[in-house]
Structure 1
Amino acid sequence: MDKSDVGVVGGKGANLGELMAAGFRVPDGFAVTADAFRRSADDLGPDLDPERMGKAVLAAGAAPEVRAAIAAAYRELGEDALVAVRSSATAEDSATTSFAGMNRTLTNVRGADAVVDAVVECWASLFAPRSVAYRDEHGLTDEPAIAVVVQRMVQSERSGVMFTADPVTGHTDRVVVEAAFGLGEVVVSGAVEPDTYVLAKAGPTVESVRVGAQTHKIALGADGERRIDLPADESARRVLTEAEAVELARTGLAIERHYGVPQDIEWAIADGATWIVQTRPITTVDTGEPLVSGLAASPGVAAGRVRVLASPADAHRFGDGDVLVARMTDPDWVPLLRRAAAVVTDEGGSTCHAAIVARELRVPCVVGTRRATTALRDGAVVTVDGAAGTVTAATAPPPNPPCA
């Protein structure tokens, strides 16, 4: 399965299959398709209100052939495998609707019968008041359907969430990592104050660290999950080293490049290995389609105001941190290149002067767009991704004021 199979295995299942196919480390598992839900709920009657429908789904359970298929797939993971059973609605994890926390997820499930029962609970959660209200709020009027992902549990020593754009400011040149000890449910549920690591995509490099106040962690024991209170010295300790934060950001940026849009990623570290347990587009950051595309000339991501210049003589119009947009550059442009957040040109290739100097100065650069000087509006705020060769509309202004 891959990202095109949302209608079959839901958003979560489709994205996890896509990640596995692309070579990212994802826990083993399988998906119970939306069709399996429909077959099991086929005789329940379409006219039931949501509350009665949820109860009817629980009472009916899984159709016999569906129950047998789930049990067989579970046994392939191991007779007593410990798994997470996670809802994967067909409208979930899209570019506009995350369904974050709306439908059920059950962790530390063991045994074929328990897994089947957990799948049915996920199905029923599709009709819970919060899920119904969420669909209404987003105008989702199609008949709801839900798939379920069953994944081997990761014995997380540390875990959390990573955004490959700042979800608050909309800045796309940052990676924000939240991290906690133990299982990641304490982060997504808001049970503790996690560490927050903000990294510049260029590098990536750590820009700031805020150590959270973590009173406890959730760990896996012989009888399932257990809460462990943290002593003061451990509570005040950083969850990630700088090197680990950078490596996480690199993984996040690789996933973002694969999808082409900023991602909301759940991760877990166990026995020195980093696992990706979910990814989806950041629904609160509107990057849109590229305004222009060209050749990747100098890596890095930067945002700034477009300044379309015909020659270096127009330097008086250029402010520090602006994005230099020109037909082509030559050595006379170097003083402006040093002050630019990024450089975009109509012409040239990866060996042209603009590309070479930009790489030396570590300034993101896109060349050979053919139309940047006419397609980009002077004064508009854009994000330049030098590795992807794209210029997109930015959702928030950079800190420097506009140049008169």
Structure 2
Amino acid sequence: MYLFFPLERCHIDVGAKANRLRRMLSAGFPVPTAYVISEEGYSKASAEELAEDVGELMETVFAGSPVVVRSSSADEDSPLASAAGVYESYLNRRTTDEVLTAIQACRDSADSVDAKAYRSMHGATERAPMNVLIQRMVPCEVSGVLYSRNPIAENATMLVESSKGLGTRVVAGLGAMDRFTLSRSGGAASPAGRRDWAVTEGTLSEVLATLGHSLEAEFGSPQDVEWGLHEGQLYIFQSRDIVVPPVAQPLRMTRPETAGAVAVDEVLSPGYGVGVLTPAGEGPARLGQVVILDGMPTAGELDRLRDASALVVRVGNALSHSAALTRELAIPAVLLADVDTPSSLVGVPVLVDAVAGRLAPLLELPPVERKKAIFAAMRQAGLRGTTGHQYQGRYETVLFDPVFQDRVRAYLSTHDVEIMDRVQSILPFDDPDRSYCGISARIQSSGDACRVQFKRANLLPDRPFRFDEEVHVGVESTDVGAELLRSLHYVDRPVQERRIETAEVNGVRLQFNFWPGANQSYLGLESENAEAVENFLVLCDVPLAEIAPLDGKDLFDMLGLGLDAVHFTQKS
């Protein structure tokens, strides 16, 4: 037997799954016996050689025991891409022929629709080498998944989902029979080389907490662990890094309040999504849809749903493979088993609050909370790369004094910095009650370019800057942008125009603003780095005391226009 290597002696280049199992085995974790065949070994072997080696394994190492055949692809179980459930595993194989068929099927799954869709989602095009594990199958009485860092809550807990028998129900997203959290405080890793992973009545939580801390210590980051119990002994079948969603949640003070809305059964993927509630169709999800699904989506289905604002799922659970993939894409998703509730809201704009765990008809939220909801959803879409959405977070400040503005202009002229001059048309939108909260929505057009801008201005205490978050949604025309905003219960106001002169220098964007009817112009300075703005002003001999972090209302009051005049009346 030369094609298969025992797990403890396999090469490190046989995929993260096999390599991690090897590391856990050598560290004293309870990993079932396994053998590995590499992509290279499989491709060089004849059918007769492969059958001979598998037959020998089944007659000696695995004699009298069923096995599971599992993938260990070079592109799964990485810190950036889990490929959870994308490649196939085959349980309860007992004969040589069954194992040979499963090995081939496991390798073929690298070219499945789901695998190709998953690679596409991560920008990959080529099939990675597929190594294969043959592992002793443990007839578990209870199996489950442990996340050593809760993926759907912001508190310091671990999350466990389990079911009777094998863990297929949990990982397949069919719902968990038991679900509980474990405190991370006070826990400790087990000593290296510990061999005793026995579980007695009432000690499962304690042992799993120790396991979570121990695996974090081994691999250096929070872990997604598949485990099982058989005759009082804990076994580990997999441990991989938890892939962190690419979208951090908004600051608590900026989040919409949804108390009183419909409570969902479970958050599957955190975040916010706003859109019209729509049953899943055959084609790709359209922008601005919250899609209802009967069950957890496959990787191929997620590829079609990647532009959905959020998902409402009727059957599922948070530690399933599908939920892990949904979090990788940062698509907000919730479980709501009550069939009548989502059905009654079909065709209605809703907020999916996949942080507090609620579903709210958008128009039932108070105006300020509705604005917060819309911006939180647009921020999520921009940060996760939804088609046509671009997020921008910048420090911004304003310079009013014309003398100091002239100093800036002199610096630009001396250093031959080009200044672009254009007229920008702005169509502002607001909720019917015109509530002001530092969040705005408007359509901006200049030349042939048109976009919808969602903006939130956050004043920073004791600093001469705001931190402005903007999401730009490219649209074909003003009419298309207006349709989007009206679907969110915004109403349009009369059009305004302003002339702007813009320049870029040393990582700072400069914009001289000229509003019709204003008593003066002003200079806006913005950058992703506040220190870049400060350094630029020093170069221009402008004191920092001359800049101010004004919000929109104060800004236009200083222009002698007032907020109403700027936003809601035609220019003279």
Deviation by residue 1:376-402 (Cα, 9 ceiling, x = unmatched): xxxxxxxxxxxxxxxxxxxxxxxxxxx
- Structure 2: segments with no counterpart, 5+ residues: 1-6, 189-199, 247-572
Which residue in 2 is equivalent to 1:273? 233
Q: 1:256 to 1:186 in 2, by over 3 A?
A: same
User: What residue identity is the alignment partner of 1:191?
Assistant: L
Q: CA deviation at 1:191?
A: 2.0
Whole-Å Cα distance in 1 between the matches of residues 11 and 124 of structure 2?
A: 19
Deviation by residue 1:168-218 (Cα, 9 ceiling, x = unmatched): 2365x321111111110011112233322111111249xxxxxxxxxxxxx
- Structure 1: segments with no counterpart, 5+ residues: 41-61, 206-239, 287-404
Q: 1:72 to 1:14 in 2, by over 3 A?
A: same
Instruction: Specify the SS of the correspondent of 2:166.
Output: coil
Q: 1:2 to 1:11 in 2, by over 3 A?
A: farther
Aligned partner of 1:93 among 77, 99, 103: 77
Whole-Å Cα distance in 1 between the matches of residues 138 and 10 of structure 2?
A: 26
Question: Are the counterparts in 2 of residues 39 and 63 from structure 1 also a CA contact under 8 Å?
Answer: no
Which residue in 2 is equivalent to 1:27? 32
Which residue in 2 is equivalent to 1:311? none
Q: Does 1:65 align with 2:70?
A: no
Which residue in 1 is equivalent to 2:175? 192
Deviation by residue 1:323-363 (Cα, 9 ceiling, x = unmatched): xxxxxxxxxxxxxxxxxxxxxxxxxxxxxxxxxxxxxxxxx
Which residue in 1 is equivalent to 2:130? 146
Aligned partner of 2:17 among 9, 12, 18: 12
- 1:321-360 to structure 2, matched below 5 A, reads none
Instruction: Specify the SS of the correspondent of 1:276.
Output: strand
Aligned residues: 233
Q: 1:122 to 1:64 in 2, by over 3 A?
A: same
User: What residue identity is the alignment partner of 1:106?
Assistant: Y
Deviation by residue 1:36-79 (Cα, 9 ceiling, x = unmatched): 34336xxxxxxxxxxxxxxxxxxxxx633233223323333233
Q: 1:3 to 1:190 in 2, by over 3 A?
A: farther
Whole-Å Cα distance in 1 between the matches of residues 9 and 115 of structure 2?
A: 23
User: What residue identity is the alignment partner of 2:30?
Assistant: R
Question: Are the counterparts in 2 of residues 161 and 178 from structure 1 also a CA contact under 8 Å?
Answer: yes
Question: Are the counterparts in 1 of residues 187 and 213 from structure 2 also a CA contact under 8 Å?
Answer: no
Aligned partner of 1:105 among 82, 86, 89: 89
User: What residue identity is the alignment partner of 2:205?
Assistant: A
Whole-Å Cα distance in 1 between the matches of residues 74 and 238 of structure 2?
A: 15
Moved more, 189-198 or 73-82: 73-82
Q: 1:132 to 1:186 in 2, by over 3 A?
A: same
Q: Does 1:136 align with 2:120?
A: yes
Q: CA deviation at 1:6?
A: 5.1
Deviation by residue 1:147-180 (Cα, 9 ceiling, x = unmatched): 1111111111011000011112365x32111111
- 1:229-308 to structure 2, matched below 5 A, reads 243-284=203-244
Q: CA deviation at 1:114?
A: 1.4
Instruction: Specify the SS of the correspondent of 1:99.
Output: coil
Q: 1:194 to 1:6 in 2, by over 3 A?
A: farther
User: What residue identity is the alignment partner of 2:55?
Assistant: A
Q: 1:196 to 1:266 in 2, by over 3 A?
A: same
Task: Compare CA radii of gyration and give the structure with the larger one.
Answer: 2
Deviation by residue 1:89-108 (Cα, 9 ceiling, x = unmatched): 11111111111111111101
Whole-Å Cα distance in 1 between the matches of residues 19 and 245 of structure 2?
A: 21
**Structure with higher RCO (Cα < 8 A, 6+ apart):** 1
Question: Are the counterparts in 2 of residues 2 and 14 from structure 1 also a CA contact under 8 Å?
Answer: no
Whole-Å Cα distance in 2 between the matches of residues 256 and 202 of structure 1?
A: 14
Question: Are the counterparts in 2 of residues 164 and 263 from structure 1 also a CA contact under 8 Å?
Answer: yes
Question: Are the counterparts in 2 of residues 38 and 145 from structure 1 also a CA contact under 8 Å?
Answer: no
Q: CA deviation at 1:255?
A: 0.9
Question: Are the counterparts in 1 of residues 32 and 135 from structure 2 also a CA contact under 8 Å?
Answer: yes
Which residue in 1 is equivalent to 2:301? none
Deviation by residue 1:278-308 (Cα, 9 ceiling, x = unmatched): 110001268xxxxxxxxxxxxxxxxxxxxxx
Q: 1:284 to 1:202 in 2, by over 3 A?
A: same
User: What residue identity is the alignment partner of 2:16?
Assistant: G
Whole-Å Cα distance in 1 between the matches of residues 15 and 221 of structure 2?
A: 19
Instruction: Specify the SS of the correspondent of 1:264.
Output: strand
Which residue in 2 is equivalent to 1:341? none
**When the two structures are superposed, what TM-score results if normalisation uses the length of structure 2?**
0.38
Which residue in 2 is equivalent to 1:165? 149
Question: Are the counterparts in 2 of residues 6 and 90 from structure 1 also a CA contact under 8 Å?
Answer: no
* Identity level (%): 31
- CA-atom RMSD in angstroms: 2.9
Q: 1:285 to 1:251 in 2, by over 3 A?
A: farther
Instruction: Specify the SS of the correspondent of 2:236.
Output: strand
Question: Are the counterparts in 1 of residues 147 and 225 from structure 2 also a CA contact under 8 Å?
Answer: yes
Instruction: Specify the SS of the correspondent of 1:77.
Output: coil
Whole-Å Cα distance in 2 between the matches of residues 96 and 37 of structure 1?
A: 27
